Amino acid sequence: MASQTHTLPPLPYAYDALEPVISKQIMELHHQKHHQTYINNLNAALSAQASATASNDVPTLISLQQKLRFNGGGHINHSLFWKNLTPPGTPANDIAGAPALREAIVSRWGSHEAFVKAFGAELLGLQGSGWGWLVSKGGAKGRLEIVTTKDQDPVNAPDVPVFGVDMWEHAYYLQYLNNKAGYVEGIWKIIHWAEAEKRYTAGVENPLKLISSSCKMIDDSNYVYEDGTPLLSDRHLSANDTLLGDAQVQPFGQLELDLRRIYRFRVLVLFHIQPELMKRSRRIALVLLASVSRKKREYDDIEAVDDDDANEDTDSGDEDNDASEVFEL
């Protein structure tokens, strides 16, 4: 089951692209060393969990929870963080590209400036390691709140992390030393407002959500995570999302190929869950697919991607038909 391990997501920009706000050296260490270590430790904890599950070793399962929380949280938080940053001076850094979010911020704090001030104060008040977040409570387009989470605690569903700022010393120390106020001040020059708008209006695509092994079936076609979040919630899906499947289950393996062909999705793997759910996994993917299709704009994006590399596709003309067939199943 090596395919179930998590891997380091590539940065969406070069290591030196966030300079002068965050130095290349910090970005390299932060991504290649710190983030990678969380992933390594998460994979180790998941592997230990799988063994403990197989032997029904409940004390070990319980003792693994904190490692999962810390390292899984570290993986989630950093994955979100890289994507909510953008090189300074890029259009994505213009808050004009986040009209709905800006309106919500102004209505909540009175002005953008007042929000920036409140956000900074909250972050600088954090005692020890942790993260500062702008959060949409209860889901997309919810009430905005500034929150901090300690160590690597993530923002839990249904709350949506609109953007996060890493307040661990390793995130700024080589450049700012004890002047963390300087770091917090500079971060506004690299906040990815377009990504923030997307998360605020449509929720967060969270790859780790999709590979959660804690979802359960509540009736024939509905699945929820342990916390009650619907597996098929639209906010988990976007053109960049990984869909799930299990190439080792034959029917699903075929579906995975179809999905790859049609959508260019990286289809990840996972369903090392209950055997009962394993049988259902094909159906889950189909519903996921249908859910994606409802999101017309993103569907168009996907088609645009397909058009771009149509030369690689031997039967691109059949794509729409393929999709229809899948949806009708």
Partner 1 sequence: MAALLSNSARVALRSGASATSKAGAAGLTFARGKATLPDLSYDYGALEPSISGKIMEIHHKNHHNTYVTSYNNTLEQLQEAQAKGDIATQIALKPAVNFHGGGHLNHTLFWENLAPKSAGGGEPPSGALSKAIDSTYGSLGEFQSKMNAALAGVQGSGWAWLVKDKQTGQIGIRTYANQDPVVGQFQPLLGIDAWEHAYYLQYQNRKAEYFSAIWDVINWKTVEKRFT
Backbone φ and ψ for 87, nearest 5 degrees, come out as -55, 145
CB 133 within 8 A of CB 149: yes
Q: Determine if 115 is a binding residue for partner 1 (CB under 8 A).
A: no
The DSSP symbol for 36 reads H
Question: What's the rounded Cα separation, in Å, for the pair 164 and 197?
Answer: 13
CB 22 → partner 1: shortest distance, Å?
15
Interaction mask 51-80, partner 1, x per CB under 8 A: ---------------x---x----------
- Out of 86, 152, 206, 229, point to the residue binding partner 1 (CB under 8 A): 152
- Out of 3, 12, 20, 37, point to the residue binding partner 1 (CB under 8 A): 37
**Strand arrangement of the beta sheet that strand 160-166 belongs to:** 144-150, 130-136, 160-166
Residue 270 corresponds to which tokens in the numbers above? 């996972």
The footprint of partner 1 on this chain (CB under 8 A) covers a number of residues equal to 20
CB 288 → partner 1: shortest distance, Å?
34
The DSSP symbol for 303 reads H
Q: Determine if 13 is a binding residue for partner 1 (CB under 8 A).
A: no
Residue 155 corresponds to which tokens in the numbers above? 């923002």
Question: What's the rounded Cα separation, in Å, for the pair 171 and 177?
Answer: 10
The DSSP symbol for 230 reads B
Residue 286 corresponds to which tokens in the numbers above? 């189909």
Nearer residue to partner 1 within complex by CB, 29 or 118: 29
Q: Identify residues 153-192 at the interface with partner 1 (CB under 8 A).
A: 168-170, 173-174, 177-178
Q: Determine if 129 is a binding residue for partner 1 (CB under 8 A).
A: yes
Nearer residue to partner 1 within complex by CB, 47 or 175: 175
Kindly list the residues in this chain that would bind partner 1 in the complex (CB under 8 A).
29, 33-34, 37, 66, 70, 127-130, 150-152, 168-170, 173-174, 177-178
